[in-house]
Amino acid sequence: MEPPSPAPPESPESPDLSVGALVRQAVTRSVGQLLRHDPGARRGDPDDVHKFRVGTRRLRSDLGTFRLVLDPEWAKPLRRELSWLGGEVGAVRDLDVLLERLTAQVATLAPVDSTAADSLVGHFRRARVRAHAALQQTLLGQRYTDLLHDLVTGAETPRFSPPNAALQSGRELGAEVGRGVWETLRQAVDDLPDDPPDEELHQVRILAKRCRYAAEAVAPAIGPDAAAFAQAIADLQTVLGDHQDTVLTEAALRRAADALPHLAPLAGELIVRERTDRARLRAEWPAVWEAAAAEDLRRWMAPPPPV
């Protein structure tokens, strides 16, 4: 599960931050996360790789969350570069998740399968070493250095459009942002068929993540209500994320079986386990969605009364 943002003030109602202060706070938080976990990502520590990747995704989301008030000529190139960086670190993180799942699964196998299990896990560990070596080169490159410089500068002096947008009410913008991301997520769930394909559930998970990040970004201006909503959406993101992990693990096992035919029987047994886990998660997620969709979690999104 991804680490949550710092909790907003515990007061019933947060002070009305300006849009400028809200954006700077969100972007500074995300840039800070990136910088904190840069050294560990270079070393290959799985937890740092995970949090570094989250930092890139959250920062890209923050720039999208506030697109209504940010200069697109400034924000869009940054989002494009963050997408590139997220893809570079994602190759390592995906293998970490895969290895974590496989290590837990093979630990429950019969001793007769231990040799094949060691071979299978070793296959993916070698892939992880190669992926991390590529990430190290990325983090040593000029493109990444330039991106860090632009992000640190942007956190201090984000560019708004129009410039006076920075003086607007953060609370009003936060409510507007919340309504937008919630409606997109709700519509996607409503459009799902009775037995949705894995890819459609994955798209819902992506929208849930955007919704959560947006709520966390505006929480300093909204208060605990936005944080509570973000936590409920995080629960949805988690169950759908676990579902997607089973999909990716099955695909990786199939590729391994093709490359290493002598491991195909073991890969087949593990695929059955992944499918069993996926069926359980498919049965669980509607209840998690129902809890996240509770109307009282969205009171903070209400538009201001007409003047």
| pLDDT tens profile 179-209 | 999 999 999 999 999 999 999 999 999 999 9
pLDDT band at 304 (very low <50, low <70, confident <90, very high): confident
Mean pLDDT of the chain: 93
Which of 118, 139, 147 shows the shortest CA–CA distance to 48? 139
CATH architecture of 18-168: Alpha solenoid (1.40)
pLDDT band at 53 (very low <50, low <70, confident <90, very high): very high
Q: What is the mean pLDDT of residues 246-270?
A: 95
pLDDT of residue 14: 52
pLDDT exceeds cutoff 90 at 233: yes
pLDDT exceeds cutoff 60 at 1: no
Question: What is the rounded CA–CA span in Å between residue 236 and residue 126?
Answer: 33
pLDDT band at 110 (very low <50, low <70, confident <90, very high): confident
Q: What is the mean pLDDT of residues 141-162?
A: 95
Q: What is the mean pLDDT of residues 224-249?
A: 97
Flag whether the pTM goes above 0.85.
yes
pLDDT band at 10 (very low <50, low <70, confident <90, very high): very low
For residue 226, what are its two tokens? 């936005």
Domain ranges of the chain: 18-168, 169-298
C-beta neighbour count of 110 within 10 angstroms: 7
For residue 251, what are its two tokens? 């695909």
Q: Tell me the helices (H) and strands (E) count for the chain, helix number first.
A: 9, 0
In the Cβ-directed half-sphere of 195, how many Cα atoms lie within 13 Å?
Answer: 2
Question: What is the rounded CA–CA span in Å between residue 40 and residue 103?
Answer: 22
Taking 3-state DSSP, the helix, strand and coil percentages for the chain, each rounded to the nearest 5, stand at 80, 0, 15
